[in-house]
Amino acid sequence: MIELAQNLIDGLGRGSIYALLALGVAVIFGVMHLLNFAHGEMITVSGYAAFWALNAGWSWTLIVPLILVVSVVTSLLIERLAFSRVRGASDFTLLLTSFGVHFLVSAVLLLYVSASVKNYPRPGWVADTWAVGSLRVEVFDTVVIVVTIITLLATTALLQRTMFGLALRAAAADFDTARLMGVRSNSVIRGAFALSGLLAGIAGVFWLMRAGSTNPTAGIDPMLKGVLAALIGGLGSLRGAVLGGFALGLAEVLLRSWLPNGLASLTEGVVFALIALLFIFRPGGLISVGHAERV
Amino acid sequence: MTPNNLFPNKQRDIGFSALGALGLFALLVGGGLAYQAIVGTGSAERLITTMLIDAIIVVGIQIYVGNTGVLSFGHVGFGAIAGYAFALFAITPEEKLKRIPDAPWGLVDVSLNPWLALLLATVICLVVAVIVGVGLARSGAESGAVAATVITLALLFVTHEVARNWPDVTGGDRAGLSFAIGGSLDGRIAIYIALLAALLVARWYAQSRSGRLAVAAREDNLAARAMGVNPLVQQMAALLISVAVVSVGAGLKVYEEGSILPDNFFFNYTLLTLVMLIVGGRNGVTGAVVGVIVMTAGRELTRRLGQDGYELFGIGLDDAPLDWIFRENLQTVFLGLSMLGFMIWRPSGLLDDWELDEWLHRRLNLPKTADEQPDSLTELEDVPQANLRVSDVDVRFGGFQALSGAGLEANSGEIVGLIGPNGAGKTTLVNVITGLVEPSAGSFEVNGHDATALAPFELARGGLVRTFQNLRLFGALTVRENVEVAAMIAQQHRTDRVLRDTDALIAEAGLWPLRDRRARELDYGNSRRLELARAAALSPAFLLLDEPTSGMSDEESLAMVEQVRHMAATVGAGVLVIDHDLAFITGISDRIYVLDQGRIIADGSPTDVQANPAVQAAYLGSTADA
């Protein structure tokens, strides 16, 4: 019982980060029909920024806003340099463009920044726990969950209450009609990339705090989690993406504790296989957005 | 399927494409040997060997990605499965005892000759491919190609994770599996054979019935289904053939390298093979081969640029001033830039779908026979009886009732019009009849058999064929190929009907001079006529035409009326034509149904309907003012 509760909290903490990543992926998918395989690059680049700043003597209090800013700027830069040139292209082109961006960023970092893993000190409280009865809860998990809930509420408010949110939702529902109704495609797409970058930045803060290191291909893992979570939830659905993130986090933690010892190291492989199974039985994901065919 | 159905055009499809495959083989091998002879170093030899093996794998990927249009990251994952399986079966027991003494299922004692091991590895890979293929088909049908692509990505990661974390079998992350020294390939004969086979298979598949249907679905999935193609079957066929070729290539890669590590078949190799594929042009085998050559050369060049103190063709270059940019691993930047650059400026690659053998065929065969305009077709006299009956159909979209209790009937030999103002539910009714929308109540029958729950491709095979309000042609295919796709389906599923010659139908539609043009190059009127000819080639019992004259001038519309009437009579089809243009409908139809707000408000002969007060109120009143 205690173990289950422990796992649930652990899974929620992990799932929170995935949910933020997945939401960023879903926002971009909504406006551009682009599944962004370069979504992890925001974290890779901010990781190097954090490493540099820590070496320069910055404290984590200053590094957190630095990560957010670097992440948003990276997201906007990638949009400007690559994605803005393939708007409206086929799925095939969009997917490979983002794949190419991912490779180019990591190759450039590898060649011109550093080929080795860069370690930096994590903030002291990351490893702390507090005891609630016989339950030991990580301070880190608590912070992650609280921040994620606040972020999700704020994002919901942004999407529901502001003109930008309305434009974004309209564009996600039907981009062409939204444009005809006066939504400016440039600003809504850039706004989406800024929002996506910010969400990735918040997730990135936690990711980097926990990892304590970065390397040129560090973006693959968060990218994959975000993309898979968005897919589990049902591509195109923002609520689905958040749900998918939590589902993925819980699945990982629970599987790791349930799988027999010899197989525990295969958790990730089993999760991928389960996702493939999910898609055989529920091809549209958890929240299926009906893509009505237009004739 | 009868054998002559496998290849629609034997001489061109089997003979010439074999010639094309041979040509590409000569290009790769001849070019490679020439380079080796000029450079004359061991590293040049290794470079060419690597290029030939990459070519096998890239051509294998092309079979799936090129013909279906679905991007796959998973083929390198299939390669990993085949590579490990091959290594496990082929490595000697002594070597395995050293590396993986704890392997389960007695794998340590297995010792097969390499050919048998390769065969077995391919079979294992095919079994996995069937399972993955079912997932791809199901999610692809529901959520589009993007979901399918992510499943292929998941496959790549599953294989990589398993390879890293199952050291008992795979040797794990660091050690991997390796052969005893001297285990690598003696000479290149095996590679040559596999390469030639891969090229032949790729060209033959593209020309085969299955390949052509897959390409039709790639060009327009919905239109292909409405023509009776089941894209899922063709995609599965393409996947299996493609995975078999990739497996062989992967086995040879492992054999040649003498070892296998998880990272040998992961992201970097995926990037390399995909860049090779798209740079040349993913839609053709020639493109894939050219991409392999161009990228191998480019990568070698950038690799050397990245080295300190290199020389190029014997000329020493001093790169000290550029050292800050030309660093080691420069080739990864080159690969990333190539992928981005081509996706942004030339997504269809250098050659698109240009094929060596098709070019040869055009060159050599052009002035020959069989290219005179066929005689015009006579209208069929004995038309098989057919009946289409729609009864009491309800369709709801959320709270909106699009159809309530709508029904109509049509018989072979007659032209039935369905008319109504915009938003009356006309297209919804056509969508019910063609299987795109399932009604919440009511049914429809073809010749007395219930057809309400059938999928679009089943309905098309059963003789209900539609055209689309907004054109849906197979853009990259020529006029002839568009019609041939329909004829291929007809040969298999419409055997009880009179099948017309495709060339004659093209001539009948007035498209003979344009027969070798790509469909996307046609103007609007010709596109409409091609859609009609393509539908007629299926020998349908009923043709459903959704606004066939929308966007046409009055004059063109009149000509279209004549064409519809004649085409339908030529193949003996009844016609159900949907439009909002009253003059057009009354001009063409024997009987008319009037739809308003989801209900049939009148039916009868054109004169009856025009005189009906309810029709005048609902429909004519509004147009008369305009």
Tens digits of per-residue pLDDT, A47-75?
Answer: 999 999 998 988 888 999 999 999 999 99
Q: What ipTM goes with this model?
A: 0.87
- Whether residues A283 and B142 touch (CB distance < 8 A) is answered with yes
Q: Tokens in use for A267?
A: 């958790």
What pTM was computed for the model?
A: 0.90
Q: Which tens digits make up the pLDDT trace of A126-160? A: 778 888 777 888 888 889 999 999 999 999 999 88
Q: Tokens in use for B459?
A: 């309905």
Quote the CA–CA distance of B378 and B571 in Å, as a whole number.
Answer: 9
What angle is formed at CA A291 by the lines to CA A236 and CA B426, rounded to 5 degrees? 150
Tokens 């199901």 found at: B138
| Mutate which: B62, B64, B139, vs A, most A CBs within 10 A | B139
In a 13 Å sphere around the CA of B312, the CA atoms on its Cβ side amount to 14
pLDDT of res. B276? 96
Give the nearest chain B residue to A267 (CA atoms). B161
H or E element, residue A25: helix A2-32
Q: What are the phi and psi torsion angles at B574 (to 5°)?
A: -75, 155
Give the nearest chain A residue to B65 (CA atoms). A92
pLDDT of res. B143? 63
Mean pLDDT score across all residues of chain B: 85
A175: left (phi over 0), alpha (psi -120 to 50) or beta: alpha
Give the model's confidence band at A28: pLDDT under 50 very low, under 70 low, under 90 confident, else very high: very high
b/e string for B301-327 if b means 16 or more Cβ within 10 A? Answer: ebbbbbeeeeeeeeeeeebeeeeeebb
Helix, strand or coil, per DSSP, at residue B444 = strand
Q: Tokens in use for A98?
A: 């983002």
Give the model's confidence band at B619: pLDDT under 50 very low, under 70 low, under 90 confident, else very high: low
Measured on CA atoms in the order B336, B338, B344, B350, is the torsion positive or negative?
Answer: negative
Surface of B (113-142) touching A: CB under 8 A: 132, 134-135, 138-139, 141-142
Of residues B2 and B240, more confidently modeled: B240
Q: Which tens digits make up the pLDDT trace of B119-155? A: 999 999 999 999 888 888 877 666 667 778 888 888 8
Give the nearest chain B residue to A287 (CA atoms). B143
Q: What is the arithmetic mean of pLDDT over B253-269?
A: 89
Q: Tokens in use for B616?
A: 């005048």
Tell me, what DSSP letter sits at residue B556? Answer: H
Q: Are B204 and B238 within 8 A, CB to CB? A: no
- B155 Cα to chain A: minimum distance (Å): 8
Closest CA to B232 of B455, B510, B560, B463: B455
What angle is formed at CA B578 by the lines to CA B575 and CA B582, rounded to 5 degrees? 110
- Whether residues A266 and B147 touch (CB distance < 8 A) is answered with no
State what percent of residues in chain A have pLDDT above 90: 43
| Contact status of B586 with chain A (Cβ, < 8 Å) | no
Helix, strand or coil, per DSSP, at residue A81 = helix
Closest CA to B72 of A283, A103, A99, A36: A99
Q: Which of A275-279, B43-47, B258-262, B440-444 has the lowest mean pLDDT?
A: A275-279
Quote the CA–CA distance of B155 and B136 in Å, as a whole number.
Answer: 11
pLDDT(B374) > 90? no
Give the nearest chain B residue to A86 (CA atoms). B344
Give the model's confidence band at B181: pLDDT under 50 very low, under 70 low, under 90 confident, else very high: very low
Q: What is the arithmetic mean of pLDDT over B361-368?
A: 68
| Mutate which: A279, A281, A287, vs B, most B CBs within 10 A | A279
| Contact status of B69 with chain A (Cβ, < 8 Å) | yes
Quote the CA–CA distance of B210 and B233 in Å, as a whole number.
Answer: 9
pLDDT(B367) > 60? no
Of residues A221 and B382, more confidently modeled: A221
Q: Which tens digits make up the pLDDT trace of B50-76? A: 999 999 999 999 999 999 999 999 999
pLDDT of res. B52? 96
Q: What is the arithmetic mean of pLDDT over B592-602?
A: 88
Tell me, what DSSP letter sits at residue B617? Answer: I
Please report residues of B whose CB lies closer than 8 A to that of A99.
73, 271, 274, 339
Give the nearest chain A residue to B469 (CA atoms). A295
Please report residues of B whose CB lies closer than 8 A to that of A224.
153, 157
- Whether residues B149 and A275 touch (CB distance < 8 A) is answered with no
What are the structural domains, with CATH classification, of chain A?
A: 2-128+139-281 (1.10.3470)
Q: What are the phi and psi torsion angles at B130 (to 5°)?
A: -60, -45
- Whether residues B436 and A293 touch (CB distance < 8 A) is answered with yes
Pairing verdict, β B542-546 and B574-579 = parallel
Q: Are B193 and B252 within 8 A, CB to CB? A: no
Residues facing B547 on adjacent strands = none
Give the nearest chain A residue to B161 (CA atoms). A269
- B311 Cα to chain A: minimum distance (Å): 21
Counting every residue written for chain B, the total comes to: 626
pLDDT(B622) > 60? no
Q: What is the arithmetic mean of pLDDT over B442-450?
A: 87
Tell me, what DSSP letter sits at residue B388? Answer: E
Please report residues of A whose CB lies closer than 8 A to that of B468.
295
Size of interface A-B (CB pairs under 8 A): 151
Q: Which of A82, A93, A293 sits opposite B222 (nearest CB)?
A: A293
Q: Are B356 and B286 within 8 A, CB to CB? A: yes
Q: Which of A55-69, B97-111, B394-408, B494-508 has the lowest mean pLDDT?
A: B97-111
pLDDT of res. A200? 96
Surface of B (380-419) touching A: CB under 8 A: none
pLDDT of res. B176? 72
Q: Tokens in use for B71?
A: 């991007």
pLDDT of res. B494? 87
pLDDT(B585) > 90? no
Quick one: how far is CA A62 from the chain centroid? Answer: 22
Counting every residue written for chain A, the total comes to: 295
Tokens 């670097």 found at: A70
Please report residues of B whose CB lies closer than 8 A to that of A96.
71, 274, 278, 339, 343
pLDDT(B1) > 60? no
pLDDT(B82) > 60? yes
Please report residues of B whose CB lies closer than 8 A to that of A91.
71, 144-146, 149
Give the nearest chain A residue to B471 (CA atoms). A295
Delimit the CATH 3.40.50.300 region(s) of chain B: 387-625
Q: Which of A89, A111, A276 sits opposite B329 (nearest CB)?
A: A111
Please report residues of B whose CB lies closer than 8 A to that of A291.
143-144
- Whether residues B143 and A235 touch (CB distance < 8 A) is answered with yes
CA distance from start to end of chain B:
55
Give the nearest chain B residue to A232 (CA atoms). B147
Quick one: how far is CA A156 from the chain centroid? Answer: 17
Q: Which of B142, B149, B333 sits opposite A95 (nearest CB)?
A: B149
- Whether residues B335 and A283 touch (CB distance < 8 A) is answered with no
State what percent of residues in chain B have pLDDT above 90: 37
Q: Are B517 and B478 within 8 A, CB to CB? A: yes
CATH architecture of B387-625: 3-Layer(aba) Sandwich (3.40)
| Contact status of A65 with chain B (Cβ, < 8 Å) | no
| Contact status of A235 with chain B (Cβ, < 8 Å) | yes
B435: left (phi over 0), alpha (psi -120 to 50) or beta: left
Give the nearest chain A residue to B143 (CA atoms). A284
| Contact status of A22 with chain B (Cβ, < 8 Å) | no
- Whether residues B158 and A269 touch (CB distance < 8 A) is answered with yes
pLDDT of res. B310? 59
Give the nearest chain B residue to A221 (CA atoms). B157
Quote the CA–CA distance of B626 and B620 in Å, as a whole number.
Answer: 10
Give the model's confidence band at B184: pLDDT under 50 very low, under 70 low, under 90 confident, else very high: low
pLDDT of res. A180? 79
pLDDT of res. B3? 38
What angle is formed at CA B379 by the lines to CA B378 and CA B381, rounded to 5 degrees? 120
| Mutate which: B343, B429, B436, vs A, most A CBs within 10 A | B343
